């Protein structure tokens, strides 16, 4: 509905009922953007992106996941698609994602916008044994800041930020920044 009502992106929207139907559509005509839910892509398993690329369609893919569903989010990250956004994101976020991707960029939202604003409850900070500086870095990671932005805000080098981020990931027992962001913003997962 957002696409059809958005004057910035006059769009012809075509829906696929299954992964097989998606492949048929991509084979028949070119698209500027593919928006696919994680469950639709998961139908094909770890070969989803490969099979989409085999159609010859080079459109960027925006993957949708249910907020808080780490399995869906991890699957989309593993597929290395061009963008990831929560199904519960607002119209403005979808429009931003589409604009970034149509301009050739990669869209990874500030996941902190999808959850509560309580970025770091005290009990999480205490249990994880992070230093005060690591907590500062984690809060900025949770807001989606880049290492360069974090370095500038905390007046430290990018190398130091990288060291802190590596230590944070290890201490929290997560594999990447996105998982650290989700944990900061949704500590019950």
> Structural domain boundaries of the chain?
19-109, 114-185
Residues of the chain with pLDDT > 70: what percent? Answer: 78
pLDDT reported for residue 65: 85
When the candidates are 3.40.50.970, 3.40.50.2300, 3.50.50.60, 3.40.50.1370, the CATH number that belongs to 19-109 is 3.40.50.2300
Question: What's the Cα-to-Cα distance from 32 to each of 7, 9, 101, 103, rounded to whole Å?
Answer: 16, 11, 9, 11
For the 114-185 domain, the top CATH level (class) is: mainly alpha
CA atoms lying within 13 Å on the CB side of residue 149 = 9
Q: What is the pLDDT of residues 64-118, one digit of tens each?
A: 888 767 778 778 877 778 888 888 878 888 888 888 888 887 777 544 433 333 4
> What is the signed CA dihedral for 149, 154, 156, 158, rounded to 10 degrees?
-20
């Amino acid at each position: 509905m957002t696409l059809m009502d958005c004057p910035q992106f006059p769009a012809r929207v075509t829906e696929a009922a299954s992964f097989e139907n998606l492949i048929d559509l991509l084979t028949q005509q070119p698209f500027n953007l593919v928006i696919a839910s994680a469950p639709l892509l998961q139908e094909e398993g770890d070969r989803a992106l490969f099979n989409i690329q085999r159609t010859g369609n080079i459109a960027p893919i925006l993957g949708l996941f249910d907020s808080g569903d780490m399995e869906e989010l991890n699957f989309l990250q593993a597929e290395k698609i061009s963008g990831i956004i929560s199904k519960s994101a607002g119209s403005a976020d979808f429009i931003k994602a589409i604009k970034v991707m149509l301009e050739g960029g990669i869209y990874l939202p500030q996941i902190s916008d999808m959850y509560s604003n309580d970025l770091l409850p005290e009990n999480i900070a205490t249990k994880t044994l992070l230093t005060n500086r690591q907590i500062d870095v984690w809060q900025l990671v949770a807001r989606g800041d880049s290492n360069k932005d974090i370095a500038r805000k905390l007046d430290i080098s990018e190398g130091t930020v990288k060291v802190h981020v590596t230590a944070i990931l290890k201490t929290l027992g997560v594999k990447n920044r996105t998982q650290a962001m989700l944990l900061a913003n949704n500590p019950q997962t």
